[in-house]
Structure 1
């Protein structure tokens, strides 16, 4: 598979402290790749540099072969990179489908088309995105009464409205019940398979990571210490030391 994202020796320094130290990796087209590590490892800092919220101290980021290092987040988004966040950011006063319509209005550059006809715009298209995340039956419910897991699904639908070719997902299952975590990540895996979207995600739930990722990267103290498939990462001595003080990370038979 050809790469969609390439990161070269990325660094971020704060008053001499290296939050990210020389990280290099790539994400292939149609790949579901996890970036894991303990708290403070540098995962969110890395994500913020990829999306333009932070400017790297050193290093380069390329999307589809074009340099995007230091570009503004909106410019990167317009190029085809989407992102979801740990904390959902939906409009609670609107219905589910209205939130998706708002995202579509932004995508189609109609965000200022407010008025009596505004909420008729892109309703059919919005409904299709809700079908993708299995929320079509909740289209007209207010977001304020949704369960947290459903808010996460809605956030995914909103992110997909821009039809990203690469989606960055920061802790997509944080705060969700175990069964809802599995359902959401299976949904993401299905989207990767069916639509060819590439996904790079951070996650603390190792069951989710090992069950769904094509490849896994491990950050520790700002440095990349492992990058490979589930078996290679599970058996990596450095990874075992970071997570369990030298124990076995997971039993082989516990994960597909």
Structure 2
């Protein structure tokens, strides 16, 4: 397994936000982390990414322990991340945004005396080609449609060739067709690069249409884990997640 999470615990005061959560992720796999509000999804996600340190438990990437490391140290070990609200430099061009990410990946400090546009232009264009944005390389990010901004953010996250990509609500604010296109692209890149992808998501069409496996958290504990079709049929998941007999996937939460 590329990522192995074992016995994660995290409490805030008397509230157990994450309570003995364990799971694994293989190379090239898309793993969705879902659950009702307050289930512990964001806390679990941030424990893996280094934004939070666990009270106990282990997070191992390719055999190396990451629990308790800073986000920067986690990133250096090979973990990329995209955010619910896309993080790009609106005033820079699409190409310069990716070049800035490459500067960071190379450990270089940006200087106004040395323009980002001079750095690894061919590599930046190749990353943009991989996400279908090479034709818009010279446009400012401020002029892009939101779905295209998310593609640029994805290219930036790939700049240091991560083993693991964390995607926090990757399709938030996107139209249905854009959601499907972005996650279909992500799955293709994950397979090509043998990169594991862990993502949180509220759009059930994305979860059950794109994920290879699904984890369901409820009140900080792992309720169910399995293939999308098995999770859809799981009566306990339906009751806990939607509070009704409705079928998951037909009514996005």
**What TM bracket, shorter-length normalisation?**
over 0.9
Contact 2:238 2:248 in 1 (8 A): no
Contact 1:234 1:248 in 2 (8 A): no
Report the TM-score, using the length of structure 2 for normalisation. Answer: 0.95
Partner of 1:44: 42
- What is the SS of the residue equivalent to 2:5? strand
Shift of 1:115: 2.1
Query: Which range is displaced more, 238-247 or 54-63?
Result: 238-247
Partner of 1:132: 130
Partner of 2:229: 231
Q: Which blocks of at least 5 consecutive residues in structure 2 are unaligned? A: none
Partner of 1:221: 219
Matches within 5 A, 1:73-88: 73-88=71-86
Matches within 5 A, 1:39-118: 39-116=37-114, 118=116
Partner of 2:209: 211
Residues 1:63 and 1:143: Cα distance change in structure 2 (over 3 Å): same
* Distance in structure 1 (CA, Å) of the matches to 2:51 and 2:116: 31
Q: Which blocks of at least 5 consecutive residues in structure 1 are unaligned? A: none
* Distance in structure 2 (CA, Å) of the matches to 1:80 and 1:224: 26
Task: Work out the number of aligned pairs and report it.
Answer: 250
* Distance in structure 1 (CA, Å) of the matches to 2:191 and 2:53: 32
* Distance in structure 1 (CA, Å) of the matches to 2:85 and 2:114: 31
Partner of 2:5: 7
Residues 1:31 and 1:251: Cα distance change in structure 2 (over 3 Å): closer
* Distance in structure 1 (CA, Å) of the matches to 2:242 and 2:121: 49
* Distance in structure 1 (CA, Å) of the matches to 2:20 and 2:105: 34
Partner of 1:151: 149
Contact 2:128 2:152 in 1 (8 A): yes
Partner of 1:177: 175
Residues 1:159 and 1:118: Cα distance change in structure 2 (over 3 Å): closer
CA-based RMSD of the aligned residues comes to 1.5
Q: Which digits, 9 at most, give the CA deviation of each residue in 1:100-136, with x for residues without a partner? A: 0000011112224542454221111100100111011
Contact 2:128 2:155 in 1 (8 A): yes
- What is the SS of the residue equivalent to 1:70? coil
Query: Which range is displaced more, 23-32 or 114-123?
Result: 114-123
Contact 1:217 1:227 in 2 (8 A): yes
* Distance in structure 2 (CA, Å) of the matches to 1:21 and 1:140: 47
Contact 2:128 2:137 in 1 (8 A): yes
- What is the SS of the residue equivalent to 2:2? strand
Partner of 1:32: 30
